[in-house]
Amino acid sequence: MSVRAVDLILKKKQGGELTTEEINGLIRGYVAREIPDYQMSALLMAICFRGMSRRETSDLTMAMTHSGDVVDLSAIRGIKVDKHSTGGVGDTTTLILGPLVAACGVPVAKMSGRGLGHTGGTLDKLEAIDGVSVSMTVERFIEIVQQTGIAVIGQTGNLVPADKLMYALRDVTGTIDSIPLIASSIMSKKIAAGSDAIVLDVKTGSGAFMQKKEDAFALAQEMVGIGEAVGRKTVAVVTDMNQPLGMAIGNALEVREAILALSGKISEDDPLIEVVLLLGSEMLRLGGAAKTEEEAKKKLLWALRSGAGLEKLRTLLRSLGGDGRCCDEPDSLLRARRQIDVTADQDGVVGKMNAVAIGEASLLLGAGRVTKEDQIDPDVGIVMNVRLGDLVKKGQPLARFYVNDETDLIAAEELFRSALKVSQEAPRHSPMVYGVVRAEQEA
């Protein structure tokens, strides 16, 4: 169907609901560059103000999904369950979660993107290991999952091109903060990547895109509704991001933390492990490997304590061409030229953290990228020594900076100190997990 973009702009501006045919025609026309950016920008702004119905958002998601390649993972036996995080600071979950879930018998076939911001994405973290390559054909990707139960690769070049075009436009037109647009962007990529079921980790707090808990739940409900509407079992978990999730922020440093976790050297009560076990439990249940959360958690703890999860990580690294010996020698990943402690300037309690600012301090050290063309230094970053509520003494290390280029070191330390407040007042307690959104809550 041929559509006139101006008619859709006027219809949405007046609060109307776009039909399935209109949405399909819009996306086809835009990807073909028959609809110019200025008209799509106007429509995106109208959507920001007027919103979209659940049906409209589902239709937009599927139109974006089918704007390019859709990966067929049916050759892999079992239910393929994907996981997505809306982003945070020190979020090392995939490198721990994927191997544990695979060790429990649920295939993990994950396509990831690169990070843009304070640290790299999962691909950048994996590439911190010597020899790792995340580029391969889809056929080889499927073959590795069939043989080993787990593989992580970069997204194909033609996966959801509509999202690439629209996201670039939203970034420069002030139309990022629309729940229907965020939800369709995330879900179109997950569906196109071939998953049968999806577990979503929706972050909220100072280090999250959705800083208000109510907004995080609204986004979670929207994405679960979309997933179920298009035939994908979907669960969302709303988790806290008022402090870094893990203690490491930086690519090689986060791989090291994942190895320490899978080696049993991080307490099972640690917030990072708590989130991993909850997300993993949902993945095992959707994947048919467990009926209850209790049964799923028991299996995941077996994979953690027995070393089966660590062995899956080693298998993953080797299948990507990497050196799996780092799984036995995690400190070999501490490769930065200098290690500098940032210490407390008074006695007190860690009462507040701005997780985004801590992430931005690691960006100044070179751990992330501002534009997609920027080069990441895989060896630099920050390892935290404290969490919210910890008592500290003057002169005690709050964190250790791993540094190669000292150009922005002073600025990074100043930003870090402004982000972490030591005072005499204990912080207000925030739960690590705020809730789980399932399909039955949508009815």
State the Cα–Cα distance between residues 113 and 90, nearest whole angstrom: 17
Element (H, E) at 184: helix 179-192
**With b meaning 16 or more CB within 10 Å and e meaning fewer, what string describes 197-222?**
bbbbbbbbbbbbbbeebebbbbbbbb
In the annotation, is 84 catalytic? yes
Q: Is 274 left (phi over 0), alpha (psi -120 to 50) or beta?
A: alpha
In the annotation, is 58 catalytic? no
Amino acid at 89: V
Annotated catalytic residue within 185, 195, 281, 362: 185
State the Cα–Cα distance between residues 196 and 352, nearest whole angstrom: 40
Dump the DSSP string for 214-235: HHHHHHHHHHHHHHHHTT-EEE
State the Cα–Cα distance between residues 289 and 106, nearest whole angstrom: 7
Annotated catalytic residue within 80, 189, 190, 417: 189
State the Cα–Cα distance between residues 397 and 389, nearest whole angstrom: 15
In the annotation, is 185 catalytic? yes
State the Cα–Cα distance between residues 180 and 183, nearest whole angstrom: 5
State the Cα–Cα distance between residues 238 and 222, nearest whole angstrom: 13
What are the two backbone dihedrals, phi and then psi, of residue 371, each rounded to the nearest 5 degrees?
-120, 160
Q: Dihedral through CA 116, CA 121, CA 126, CA 130, nearest 10?
A: 10
Instruction: Check if the beta carbon of residue 269 is closer than 8 Å to that of residue 275.
Output: no
Instruction: Check if the beta carbon of residue 135 is closer than 8 Å to that of residue 144.
Output: no
Annotated catalytic residue within 59, 82, 91, 163: 163
Q: What is the largest CA-CA distance in the chain?
A: 69
Instruction: Check if the beta carbon of residue 214 is closer than 8 Å to that of residue 325.
Output: no
Annotated catalytic residue within 84, 233, 256, 417: 84
Angle value at C-alpha 359, between 358 and 364, nearest 5 degrees: 95
State the Cα–Cα distance between residues 230 and 60, nearest whole angstrom: 11
3-state SS class at 254: helix
State the Cα–Cα distance between residues 47 and 178, nearest whole angstrom: 8
Annotated catalytic residue within 80, 110, 170, 369: 170
In the annotation, is 421 catalytic? no
3-state SS class at 385: coil
Catalytic machinery residues: 84, 163, 170, 185, 189
